[in-house]
Amino acid sequence: MEKENKIQEIKGKYVSAAGRRKSAVAQVRLYKNGAGKIIVNDKSLNEYFPIPSYASSILKSLQLAGLENKVDLSIIAQGGGKRGQADAVRHGIARALVLMDKELRPVLKAERLLTRDPRKKERKKPGLKKARRAEQWSKR
């Protein structure tokens, strides 16, 4: 019951964008006329990301745009860990802001918020323990 209520709280027209980081993907819906409500996986932002640095990095693009308490966000984050999800959410919010207002692009690009971090985990190679870690060599 509670999940349905939180999803139904935010209604209206929205701009949708996806953000990615490592193996994490975030689907962001940015509702234009809002009150600053942010819901991540049916939880509040501070409930889902209890570490303050994660929450502050997510809100950075909204602060630069001056839209902290003027838009609502509905976010679905999947895959990876909390850090990867936080960065994916940040990337998705920045992309949604650019779709909403093209004039924000230079500001967000200067802060490197539109750049997708391309680093991923390297695949494991055959005959090795990890991607590059070989078995320890023994002389005897």
pTM of the model: 0.83
Judged against a pLDDT cut of 70, whether residue 4 lies above it is answered with no
First to last CA, the chain: 65
Judged against a pLDDT cut of 70, whether residue 109 lies above it is answered with yes
What Cα–Cα distance (Å) separates residue 54 from each residue in 13, 25, 126? 27, 16, 36
| Domain assignments of the chain as residue spans, ordered by start | 2-110
pLDDT value at residue 68 = 85
| Cβ count near 88 (within 10 Å) | 29
Task: Identify which of 77, 87, 13 has the alpha carbon closest to the alpha carbon of residue 39.
Answer: 77
Class of domain 2-110: alpha beta
